[in-house]
A and B are shown apart, each in its own frame.
Chain A
Amino acid sequence: MVRRHRLSTRLWHWGNAVTLLVLLMSGLMIFNAHPRLYWGEYGANPDHAWLDIGATVAGEDAFPGWATIPSTYSLADARLWHLAFAWVLALALLAYLAWSLANGHIRRDLHITRREWRLAHLWQDVRDHAALRFAGGAAALRYNTLQKIAYAAVLFGLLPLMIATGLAMSPGMDAGWPWFSAVWGGRQSARSVHFIVAFALVGFFVLHILMVLLAGPLNELRSIVTGWYRLPPSPSPDGPA
């Protein structure tokens, strides 16, 4: 048994998991209030929507009650949850990134080296994943390249994008920082990107859970809860550790 995940990583991981779930479910309820998406600055019912779900069955919402917060239609309540937890997401991400920069987590564990960016290496990593060959021994303590790319994409790409496009929809922010929504091509474009990136995060979640299940769920779960990880034998074993 070895130490795997730092306390800061474990705390942020679980706090962030709950926060993202609340943001997703309350966000789906907010979407239910106007289940249409547009590109550009403006967009309302008379305008062309690139996505239009729900409202096909009378009295039915685009996303069902089991997936939303609250479970019955309330735009006001969903906004209460969503806008409060948005602060939690942003401040926790900022603190975690600053802490991870200071303690070397980003440089040591997430930095993707030039060797790792090489196509041959990436291709090998893809083949190892496809064949469910997981690293054993000390190598299991390091994130593999695809894993690094996925985590870095969430930390430095998807989560900041969610915060930026969320703020870009605010009329108050728009007065202070007009470029903030202009870079997306307008408020309705920012709303569309917000929705798309939310589902990219759902996609990450599905892959993440799949990899945990394939790599040995108990060992992985223990390490992200307690920090302790049982090193799989080297070289890579056939079954779960």
Chain B
Amino acid sequence: MSGRVLSRRRLLGAGALGTGGLLLSGRHRLNRSAAFRDALQGAEGLHMRAQRLIAGDALAREYAEAQMSPEFRANGNRDVADATYRQHADAGFAQWALVVDGLVRRPLALPLSALKALPQRAQITRHDCVEGWSAIGKWQGPQLSRVLAMAGLLPAARYAVFHCADRFGDTPYYESIDLIDAFHPQTILAWRMNGQPLPVAHGAPLRLRVERQLGYKHAKYVMRIELRATLAGLYGGKGGYWEDAGDYAWYAGI
């Protein structure tokens, strides 16, 4: 009897160790396997299709002033070292203009005053960071759809790319969305936050708000909007700084 118990214990122990060992060594190898990563990344397409089926054109939830975060955390780059940007910032962005180009009929250079003169949308929304935290703030600016309508899209245009003034090391920040999100009513170019001009820490002079996706899609320090047919051939080709740098999902609805 004692012999049987012992062998049983040994067997179970070996089984547990074996499983644990497989998992410990296997997860590392699997995580580096290109085929396995491709399979995992297949879920991103499922997320986009499922969410667009469920949400359609629905708006992200909007909140009352009383529900706003007392303090809105600034994240990512909180300042820009670029000399031209610094000059514009010191001058209150009075001489600055947003460039809209690429696959458009009429390339634009829109000064901040022109963006402020367009019909405005103000929205109190929840900003969800990929890390897990959330902050609720009030954003105001023209809808991106209005700016795109002024420029007039060429039929080949599929993506709006946001080129930013901030950098991580030598790599400029950029982000991109497709035209479904670009023409969503809550997608605005915010120059005002919580009733004040957008602070530098939050992306002055202009920050993209794309409310149904995670925080890293909301590009700060937007200098130029480029309309493109494809994301291939631009930096790492995955459509955004974090997408290129670490395999973060391009569709960040989850």
Binding site for B on A (CB under 8 A): 21, 25, 30-31, 33-34, 36, 38, 41-47, 66, 69-71, 74-77, 79-81, 83-84, 86-87, 169-178, 182, 187-188, 191, 217-218
Contacts and interface: CB of A to CB of B under 8 A. Distances in A.
Contacts of A46: 69-71, 73
Contacts of A38: 133
Given A44-B69, A76-B247, A81-B40, 4 more contacts: A44-B129, A87-B43, A173-B51, A177-B54
Contacts of B136: 41-42
Nearest to B125: A171
A30 B31 contact: no
11 contacts: A33-B130, A41-B63, A45-B133, A83-B249, A84-B40, A84-B43, A171-B60, A171-B212, A171-B213, A175-B58, A182-B61
Contacts, number: 141
B69 A174 contact: no
A170 B253 contact: yes
A43 B27 contact: no
The 7 closest A-B pairs by CB, nearest first: A172-B253, A176-B55, A172-B51, A176-B54, A44-B133, A46-B71, A34-B132
B105 interface: no
A80 B40 contact: yes
A47 B70 contact: yes
A165 B134 CA distance: 15
A175 B59 contact: yes
B128 A187 contact: yes
Interface string B38-78: 01111110110001001110111101000101111100000
Contact of A44 (B59, B134, B212): B134
A158 B223 CA distance: 47
Given A69-B27, A174-B61, A79 B128 contact: no
Contacts of A36: 133
A101 to B, nearest CB: 24
B232 interface: no
Interface in B14-40: 23-24, 27-28, 31, 37, 39-40
Contacts of B90: none
Interface in B98-130: 126, 128-130
B61 A47 contact: no
B135 interface: yes
